[in-house]
A and B are shown apart, each in its own frame.
Chain A
Amino acid sequence: MDLSTYPHAIAMSAKEFVDWSTNVMDDIVKATGVKRALDKVSDPLMNWGVRNSMYPLHFGIACCALEMAACSGPRYDNERLGLVFRSSPRQCDVLLVNGWVTKKLRPSLRRLYEEMPEPKWVIAMGECAISGGPWYDSYNVVQGVDTFIPVDVYIPGCPPRPEALIDGFLRLHQKIKKSKIGTFMDD
């Protein structure tokens, strides 16, 4: 613990005091090994919670949206994975882009992505979202949604079967398992 980094405790403003006390707690917790012990509990727990309750946005563009709807049907049932479709982007984790994105739609889609709170992921479903698909020579179709939004999982197909969509979500689960969402205080 390097005490020279801390200003004199009496002359601090409220905000500075909060920052200072957080830093002191952080250092104590790390140095005594309490953080490692808490991380061993909170990280797997939060990771399990986040990946088993992903809320996609209720956003259907084109043909792949019908396969997304069929995936919510009784035969393929994606609700058993914890997927509940929400209408407002403020309540969502996952943006499922299913269909071709046109230049008129691009600003709206970028805004939807920015309205989603962290942590968030993007799945590009179908050939049109991955790279423009059959509309490779169109004057109005953006050739791939990853030109303006970072994509985590790509699901190929035209349209991909509902089983492929479930496989895509399971791959996203694998990706989330490897990331550290639930660490107790940032490193």
Chain B
Amino acid sequence: MAEMWINMGPQHPMTHGLWNMRIKVDGETITDAEPVIGYLHRGWEKMTEDRRYPQIIPMSDRLCYGSSFTWSHVYCMAVEDLMGIEVPEKAKYIRAMSDELQRIGNHLMWLAAIGPDLGNLTIFLYALREREMFLDLFQSLCGARMTYNYCRIGGVRNDAPPNWDRDLVRTLDYFEKRMNEYEELVDRNKVFRMRMEDLAPLSGKDAVNLGITGPTLRGSGVKYDIRQNDPYEIYDELDWHMCTADEGDTYARYRVRMDEMRMSVQIVRDILKKMPKTGPIRVKPPRNAPVGTGMARMEDPRGESLMYVIGDGTDKPYRLSVRSPLFVILSASPVLLRGNKIADLPSILGMIDVCMGETDR
């Protein structure tokens, strides 16, 4: 049978982002794959060298628009490491809480995106409805639905409005009940499970060498979560545990994300109990950064995100380097795809949760 290369993209309803997945097929079987990216490359790192430090915060929101708070958070942490600023206690709690709410929002968008790929249109509507509730919370907190511009170097922009924690608790209670419904809709669906179980297994050792992090790594049994192993903010004071699965197949990766949503709810409840009621939420940073370097890494909903900033004494960074988790996972996607059928492609790529804004920068 003749082999040929097929282009999936750049415009393709299933790839969730603008990239070209070239696959070499022999009949229905995929024998090789080569992702071609760069359709969204805007030169983010070059543009940051021409802007002052606070002006980069809205730019960092637009790195990965599905989880925008986590990117501005890691940027602010890197610059605080460079400038040697200590963030007040209450601001750390607010940031961690916004992180976890953003994680839930991101995983809901992921769930809404993979549903139609696998033929389940109902979950698209349910997940988007839930996501609107969390976006409402963010809107009352900082005024925007998606790209918040809320994190600041030295803290956060403002405190929560009155009665916000009452709305938060109501949302979490409602969401937990609904999660049971979604798990029934998806997990007890035989066709869904058949399409995901025993598909594209990845061993832990391979995953670590390929540079994969995040839920994709924890789905292969490796117990590594930066919130626990390399804690930042106040994660070492909270009562939670990381979610892993041992099988390493597509179903395990799906399962890890669903468990993470529940765990995020638990973390937010714990934060509400332990957060100081009063206190400063912001420290004023200096205008010019010292000569030196700063680095921060954190657990983005998709994996390990890292920012490395070099300061040169002025108010603009000399170099700002970004590590995107999805950049590395996409480079490893040919390993996951080889040997499977074309019809399995939506399952495998969907569980990776592609967002091209951070990949191409």
Contacts and interface: CB of A to CB of B under 8 A. Distances in A.
Nearest to B17: A60
B11 A108 contact: yes
Nearest to A59: B11
Interface in A79-128: 85, 87, 89, 99-100, 102, 104-105, 108, 112
A176 interface: no
Interface in A20-74: 57-63, 66-67, 69-70, 72-74
Contacts of B73: none
B324 to A, nearest CB: 15
Given A87-B13, A134-B59, A62 B146 contact: no
Contacts of A104: 38-39, 41
Nearest to B14: A87
B13 to A, nearest CB: 4
Contact of B147 (A63, A102, A138): A63
Interface residues of A, number: 35
Most-contacted residue by chain B among A63, A85, A139 (CB, 10 A): A63
Nearest to B133: A75
B186 to A, nearest CB: 18
Contacts of A67: 145-146
Nearest to B12: A87
Interface string B97-109: 0000000000001
Interface in B334-361: 356-357
B129 A74 contact: yes
Contact of B357 (A62, A158, A159): A62
A108 B11 CA distance: 8
A102 B109 CA distance: 25
B131 interface: yes
Interface string B119-136: 000001100110110010
B50 interface: yes
B59 A159 contact: no
Contacts of A108: 10-11, 39
B62 A105 contact: no
Nearest to A136: B47
Given A57-B11, A70-B128, A139 B40 contact: no
A159 B18 contact: no
Contacts of B357: 62-63
Contacts of B35: none
A75 B129 contact: yes
A73 B147 contact: no
A171 interface: no
A138 B47 contact: yes
Residues of A contacting B: mostly: loop
Nearest to B109: A66
Given A63-B146, A66-B109, A112-B11, A140 B43 contact: yes
Contacts of B128: 69-70, 72-75
A106 to B, nearest CB: 10
Contacts of A134: 58-59, 62
Contact of B65 (A66, A87, A137, A140): A66
A138 B40 CA distance: 12
B287 interface: no
A63 B125 contact: no
Contacts of A139: 43, 46
B42 interface: yes
A135 B43 CA distance: 9
A158 B144 CA distance: 10
Nearest to B43: A138
A159 B13 CA distance: 21
Given A135-B42, A137-B50, A63 B65 contact: yes
Please list the 8 inter-chain residue pairs (A to B) with the smallest Cβ-Cβ separation, ordered nearest first: A73-B128, A63-B65, A87-B13, A58-B13, A105-B39, A138-B42, A138-B43, A135-B42
Interface of A: 57-63, 66-67, 69-70, 72-75, 85, 87, 89, 99-100, 102, 104-105, 108, 112, 134-135, 137-141, 158-159, 161
Interface of B: 10-13, 16-18, 38-43, 46-47, 50, 58-59, 62, 65-66, 109, 112-113, 124-125, 128-129, 131-132, 135, 145-147, 356-357
